[in-house]
Amino acid sequence: MQSRHSKRQNSATNRQWAVTDYGMATVSPAPEYHLEAKRLLETGSAGREEMYHWPVHLAEKTWVDIEAFVQAFARAIEIHKRKYNGDVDPKMLSTSLGEARALARHRQAILQGGGDNSKQATAKKIQIQMRLE
């Protein structure tokens, strides 16, 4: 599997993501997507609990395997510790990954025709987006 930034050394790779010296990038055949290491700990909130942005944001993408992303994200924040500002907040990381997994499960249920109806799904997505803005 080749990452989109194959010129750069891959530190860790799974079926969908590679951790590179740049940050993170998808591997083929996933759609092209990359995250710069200095942006890994970006956060968002809307008067609620602050979360890391990228896990929740990518959980909304239909093509993302959230478990593959979580695995690569955890490795990336470990490898790139000197490239981003601040330290990882373990509680915020746990909350962010939990929210991402819940969103991905919810999205998958809707795509498979089960779960909430479309109005409830839209309301859930708006609620999550509000947390990140």
pTM: 0.77
Percent of residues, the chain, with pLDDT higher than 70: 74
Predicted confidence (pLDDT) per residue in 31-84, tens digit: 999 999 999 999 987 556 899 999 999 999 999 999 999 999 999 999 999 999
Count Cβ atoms below 10 Å from residue 81 Cβ, excluding itself.
Answer: 12
Predicted confidence (pLDDT) per residue in 19-30, tens digit: 998 999 999 899
What is residue 80's DSSP assignment?
A: T
